[in-house]
């Protein structure tokens, strides 16, 4: 496995894990926020989780962009050095 395949593989796994955690947190947050529970503390926790999930999506998008740039840069360097396939 060359460096580009390794970086691409790690990037895909990290993005999939991050999106899974984001979706899980987001669904739990909206469940708690909209739950017919009279406790306002539970609803505040739901709101907090929803806000955290939105920030997670932002950082996931930013991180995915950085990783895509790293993969592209590694591809360019590999091609320039004549190491690519």
Residue 19 near residue 60, CB atoms below 8 Å: yes
CA–CA separation, 71 vs 15, rounded Å? 14
pLDDT at residue 44 greater than cutoff 80: no
Residue 4 near residue 84, CB atoms below 8 Å: yes
pLDDT at residue 1 greater than cutoff 70: no
pLDDT at residue 85 greater than cutoff 60: no
pLDDT at residue 24 greater than cutoff 80: yes
The mean pLDDT value for 57-79 works out to: 81
Helices (H) and strands (E) in the chain, counts: 2, 0
pTM of the full predicted structure? Answer: 0.59
% residues pLDDT > 70 (the chain) = 92
What's the distance, CA 1 to chain centroid? 24
């Amino acid at each position: 496995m060359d460096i580009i395949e390794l970086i691409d593989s790690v990037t895909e796994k990290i993005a999939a894990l991050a999106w899974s955690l984001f979706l899980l947190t987001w669904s739990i947050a909206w469940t708690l926020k909209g739950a017919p529970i009279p406790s306002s503390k539970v609803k505040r926790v739901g709101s907090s989780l929803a806000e955290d999930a939105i920030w997670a999506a932002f950082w996931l998008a930013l991180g995915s962009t950085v990783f895509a740039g790293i993969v592209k840069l590694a591809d360019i360097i590999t091609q320039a050095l004549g190491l690519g396939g």
